[in-house]
Amino acid sequence: MIHILALDRSSLTFTECNDPDRISDFCEQPLAVVWADVTDPQDQDFDDLAREFGFHPLAIEDCRHPHQRPKIDEYSGYYFIVLYEASLNEDCQLELRELNIFLGPNFIVTVHSQPIRAIESARKHWQIRTDLAERRTGIVTYLLIDPIVDEYLSLLDRLSDRLEDLEEQIFDDFHPEALEEIFRLKKQLLFLRRTVSPVREIFNMLLKRDQPIFSRETLVYFQDVYDHLIRVVEAIDTLRELVGSTMDAYLSVSGNRLNKVMKQLTSISAILMSITLISSIYGMNFHFMPELGTRYGYVGALSFMLLVGVALYFYFRRINWL
């Protein structure tokens, strides 16, 4: 379904409709800015976009096939942009929702199969900020992409909190299942970096001073989003380093715990072996053995075994093996 929102910059009034045949009429008006939002697109919707806007078949083909890499393609008079909105669900699983954008000087077309929260927010703010109508689609793009980038920062804050919880599980009360969480967090950061890093190239293209679509005043808003992206990428890299350090700490703590267990088992084995050695000597079935006829030999052997065991126990305690 195609939802159209058109702004008349002369009267600062908005017109809404769902008739794709009116798109070309709006675009022909010199003071109009058109936003066409395509939700859950069907083949007919793509045909309507190609007919009304004259989009290149390659751009339409990319829209038809989801899971594109974040990118920006420059065509005659407009850009085709692919980026993703990211969030964590209740199970702390990373969710990526693809958003395709056709961006021209007086029109913007958003195509998405899944709900994009930033679209409704951008639509409301655009209808309020009529004082920025002269920025045309530049301000719409800013209002649309800026909350998506800010959501990256919020998501990283949640991942950072999760990492702190994992560190507490490792050092305060060792949990073996923390390793699985560390690997999952590392994988999420890898996917997120693959999603965010190419977006910088998108704004590098938009910030080119020789591109004719947007004015210098409009590019200031893109520069603000670009600065936020730099912060996001730096935060991701920092978190990835911390995850690597946390994994090393987990392996170190796990190795230390295993070493401690081996020391304890070795100490217990040494005590039992010493006692067993004494008992096994007097357990041999030889008729002529000294002390066999001693009246208190049994008590003496038990006492000697007890003495050896206690002595070894305190020795191992002294060297912190027990």
- pLDDT of res. 99: 92
- pLDDT of res. 134: 63
Give whole-number Cα distances, 125 to 87, 119, 204, 311, in Å.
22, 10, 25, 80
H or E stretch at 311: helix 297-318
User: How far is CA 30 from its chain centroid?
Assistant: 43
Q: Give exposure, 164-182, as e/b (b: 16+ Cβ within 10 Å).
A: eebbebbeeeeeeebbebb
Read off the pLDDT of each residue in 102-121 and give the average, rounded to a whole number.
Answer: 88
- pLDDT of res. 199: 85
pLDDT digits (tens, 9 = 90+) for 8-60: 777 777 787 878 777 877 777 777 788 888 888 888 888 888 888 888 899 98
Statement: residue 210 has pLDDT above 70 = no
- pLDDT of res. 278: 83
Read off the pLDDT of each residue in 114-127 and give the average, rounded to a whole number.
Answer: 85
State what percent of residues in the chain have pLDDT above 70: 95
Read off the pLDDT of each residue in 97-121 and give the average, rounded to a whole number.
Answer: 89
- pLDDT of res. 111: 92
Q: Give exposure, 11-50, as e/b (b: 16+ Cβ within 10 Å).
A: eeeeeeeeebeebeebbeeeebbbbbbbbebeeebbebbe
Q: What is the pTM of this model?
A: 0.76
- pLDDT of res. 132: 65
Name, in order, each residue with C-beta under 8 angstroms of 58's C-beta and a sequence gap of 6 or more: 73
Higher pLDDT, 8 or 319: 319
- How many CB atoms are located within 10 Å of the residue 301 CB? 16
Read off the pLDDT of each residue in 306-315 and give the average, rounded to a whole number.
Answer: 89
The strands making up 107-112's β-sheet, listed across from edge to edge, are: 13-17, 2-8, 32-39, 107-112, 94-103, 78-88, 71-75
Statement: residue 266 has pLDDT above 80 = yes
Whose tokens are 């072996």? That residue is: 273
pLDDT level of residue 170 (50, 70, 90 thresholds):
confident
User: How far is CA 296 from its chain centroid?
Assistant: 74
- pLDDT of res. 242: 87
Statement: residue 133 has pLDDT above 80 = no
- pLDDT of res. 211: 63
State what percent of residues in the chain have pLDDT above 90: 4
Q: Please state, rounded to an integer, the average pLDDT across all residues of the chain.
A: 83
Nearest to 176 by CA among 110, 98, 250, 121: 250
Higher pLDDT, 91 or 130: 91
Read off the pLDDT of each residue in 274-288 and give the average, rounded to a whole number.
Answer: 79
Residue 13 structure tokens:
């009034």
H or E stretch at 6: strand 2-8
Statement: residue 209 has pLDDT above 70 = no
pLDDT level of residue 100 (50, 70, 90 thresholds):
very high
